[in-house]
Structure 1
Amino acid sequence: MAPHYFDPDPAAPSRAATVTLVLPDLHLRLDTDRGVFSPDRVDLGTRILLETVPPPPDRGTLLDLGCGYGPIALTMARRAPHAAVVGVDTNRRALDLARRNAAANGVANASFHAAPAAGNPPQPGSPLAGPFAALWSNPPIRIGKQALHALLAIWLSRLEEGAHAHLVVHKHLGADSLHRWLEETGRPTERVASRAGYRILRTTHHA
């Protein structure tokens, strides 16, 4: 079976690299490696998300679902210095990189955690238990529609009442069908931006 960026332990031999993320309000230098998502450059969808979303809440706990080596989580943390940012991923190599990138860029309010196994919810008081004041994600579309829906259902349910999730998905990878699924499952959703084929979807949590 071919390796995937969502494998817990990537089989690809290490080949360290560095990328930069330059936004109007911040500049991050990020270590990357083979076996993680978009190791050669910050993914365009991620960049469009970060250039589009409004500032995150400056209090509470914020979530980056599928954090990879950390560009979204570290941007959230820089933009909301009084919030606690939690990055979640299955890929241990990516999590190690994200922790190193937080330290190297002087970001103290972000932490990175392995996603719990299915059917094994986090303990009360865990940083992964929520509730989350916001969720930003370039979600792992390639895990398949059924797995993606199950993943999103779990984490979206941990948002605070009225909190927003912003998701970036390319139209050719199912953005519009994901929009429909969110609406059909009782999650009011709107497309707030569209650029280079990417849709930015904002969904609001209501218990």
Structure 2
Amino acid sequence: MNPKNLNLDKLRQDLIIRDELLGHPMTFHTTWGLFSPKAIDAGTHLLLKHLEVQPDERAIDLGCGYGPLGLSIAKSAPQGSCTLVDKDFVAVDYARKNAQLNGLSNVEIFLSNGLDQVPAGQGFTLAVTNLPAKTGKEHYYLFFNDIRERLEPGGRFYVVVITGLRQFIARSFREVFGNHRKIKQGKSYTVAMATRE
């Protein structure tokens, strides 16, 4: 076997991340092509640092990737649940694998464009997303309106975005939810929240 093949075999192996999220030691398997495959990204860490999760939370993680946000929320809500959705089938496969790896049974994971595959009538007390920077504003508005429809009164929606998008988030949250609160602004990322009134 030539050395080139050996390197390809190594590249095909899962990458393994171990980190502490919301106070829980967690393990994630990832692969090349998924967002932030070698480590939990700084935006996710910032959001989790400023997130309060109730033990009976019914949460949704929109664009879950391999699952760091949604699975750590599920771990923190043993009497609740977390629904994870992503439009990338590889991300969904890894999120499912990571739910098993971390011993979580209070999760549902769907291949879904936004919320279109999430069962109708399913409501949430908490929604989170690490918004991709490279998508159209129309796409964001669809997400925000869909989330608003599914949040129960008093439900909270947290986003982390690159800081360059913070003004847009503030404007669109006020339009869609009627409110906006900047939770934390860092040099690279901003965490914001809206509430379903």
Whether TM exceeds 0.5 here: the answer is yes
Q: Aligned to 1:48, what secondary structure does the other structure show? A: helix
Does 1:170 pair with 2:162? yes
Measured in 2, the distance between the counterparts of 1:72 and 1:79 equals 11
Structure 2 counterpart of 1:67: 64
Q: Which moved more, 1:160-169 or 1:134-143?
A: 134-143
What is the distance in 1 between the residues matched to 2:80 and 2:155? Answer: 14
SS of residue in 2 equivalent to 1:157 = helix
Whole-angstrom distance in 2 between the partners of 1:27 and 1:43: 16
Q: Provide Cα deviations, 1:10-33, integer angstroms capped at 9, x if missing partner.
A: xxx955211122246111110001
Q: Distance in 1 between matches of 2:96 and 2:22?
A: 24
Gaps in structure 2 of 5+ consecutive residues:
1-10
Give distance in 2, aligned partners of 1:99 and 1:24.
20
More helix by share: 2
Letter in 2 for 1:198: Y
Matches for 1:24-173 after TM superposition, within 5 Å: 25-54=23-52, 56-59=53-56, 61-116=58-113, 121-122=116-117, 126=119, 129-172=121-164
Compute the displacement of 1:129 (Å).
4.2
Are the equivalent residues in 2 in contact too, given 1:78–1:107 (CA < 8 A)?
A: yes
Counterpart residue number, 1:19: 17
TM-score by length of 2: 0.86
Moved over 2 A (4+): 13-16, 57-61, 184-187
Amino acid at match of 1:17: L
RMSD over aligned CA atoms reads: 2.1
The residue type equivalent to 1:144 in the other structure is G
- Contact in 2 for aligned 1:19/1:41 (Cα 8 Å): yes
SS at match of 1:146: helix
Structure 1 stretches of 5 or more lacking a match?
1-12
Shift of 1:86: 0.3
Percent identity over the alignment is: 26
Q: Alpha-carbon deviations, 1:72-104, whole Å to 9, x = none?
A: 011101111110110010011011001111101
Highest Rg: 1 or 2?
2
The alignment partner of 1:199 has SS state of strand
Give the TM-score, by structure 1 length: 0.82
Report the count of equivalent residues. Answer: 187
What does residue 10 of structure 1 align with? none
